[in-house]
Amino acid sequence: MTLQRQPLYARAEAELRARIARGDWKPGESLPTEPALAADLGISQGTLRRALDGLERQRLIERRQGIGTHVAEATSERELFHFFRAETLEGGRVTPTSLAHSFETGRADAQEVRALKLARGAKVHRLLRERRIHGCPMILELIALPETLFPGFTMPVAAEVTDELYVHYQRRFGITIVRVEEKLQAVTATAMIGKTLQREEGWPLLLIHRVAFDVMDRPVERRQSWLETTRIRYAVELR
């Protein structure tokens, strides 16, 4: 399949990941049964299961005894729980609403080129939006997406905004986010940002630079988020 120095189960895992990325099975669809898939790949069921273990840990597939194995579907519920780490002071989950401020398409700046590994002069879509919790503006986000990966991406309309953006990426563009890298820092609000978040200039904000990666580990989204952390916290677990 690929390099020979890799064990068989790893090559099988890579092959299956590529097939899913290519869309052989769409999100929500079932994979063949284990014996069938093992025969197809020319490996034993045990080796196949080891490959599937890897994909399952990555949450790319879901397996259920008695039912079968299917490609995982991004849902607002799951994406919010996994990649949106804001919570209340007591640790409770929080469901934000979104409000788009502006949308444009233009040439990527130096930071975007580096973060998204783009060619110089490549175009990106930029979305500026505000997220509210219980009606209070808490987060301001600037999101950049390569035009080549998200052709025809436009300002999300009301119906789409109720879902997580990552659900939209998967359904409309076949892009599944599997991991994100973030760099955090404390900053003070500029006059413009402070106004949006209803705080005076100089108020402390948590600024998060995020890069999101897809199934093939390509960087596909750059996002800057300014959080007003008086009534929410950002929760992280390291292990």
Partner DNA sequence: CAGTGGTCTAGACCACGGG
Partner DNA sequence: CCGTGGTCTAGACCACTGA
- List contacts with a copy of itself (CB under 8 A): 58, 82-83, 85, 87, 91, 178-188, 202, 204-207, 209, 227, 229, 233-239
Closest CA to 224 of 121, 125, 139, 104: 139
Least distance to a copy of itself, CB of residue 232, Å: 8
CA distances for 237 relative to 82, 85, 165, 175, 219, angstroms: 11, 10, 23, 25, 22
Q: Is 64 in the site for DNA (CB under 7 A)?
A: yes
Rounded distance, CA 151 to CA 185, Å?
32
**Stretch near DNA under the rule CB under 7 A, chosen from 41-49, 133-141, 142-150, 209-217:** 41-49
Pairing of strands 68-71, 177-188: unpaired
Indicate the residue among 69 and 170 with the shorter CB distance to DNA: 69
Helix (H, G, I), strand (E, B) or coil at 52: helix
Rounded distance, CA 215 to CA 54, Å?
12
Q: Is 65 in the site for DNA (CB under 7 A)?
A: yes
Q: Is 28 in the site for DNA (CB under 7 A)?
A: no
Exactly one of 34, 73, 147, 163 binds DNA (CB under 7 A); which one?
34
Q: Phi/psi at 166 (nearest 5 deg)?
A: -65, -30
**Stretch near DNA under the rule CB under 7 A, chosen from 37-45, 98-106, 135-143, 223-231:** 37-45
Exactly one of 28, 35, 202, 204 binds DNA (CB under 7 A); which one?
35
Terminus-to-terminus CA distance in the chain, angstroms?
Answer: 32
Q: Side chain identity at 95, as an amino acid letter?
A: T
Touching DNA, residues 163-202 (CB under 7 A): none
238 binds, among DNA, a copy of itself, none (CB under 5 to 8 A by kind): a copy of itself
Exactly one of 68, 106, 202, 204 binds DNA (CB under 7 A); which one?
68
Q: Side chain identity at 207, as an amino acid letter?
A: L
CB 129 within 8 A of CB 96: no
Least distance to a copy of itself, CB of residue 6, Å: 16
Q: Is 55 in the site for DNA (CB under 7 A)?
A: no
Residues of this chain that bind DNA (CB under 7 A):
7-10, 31, 33-36, 43-47, 49, 52, 63-69
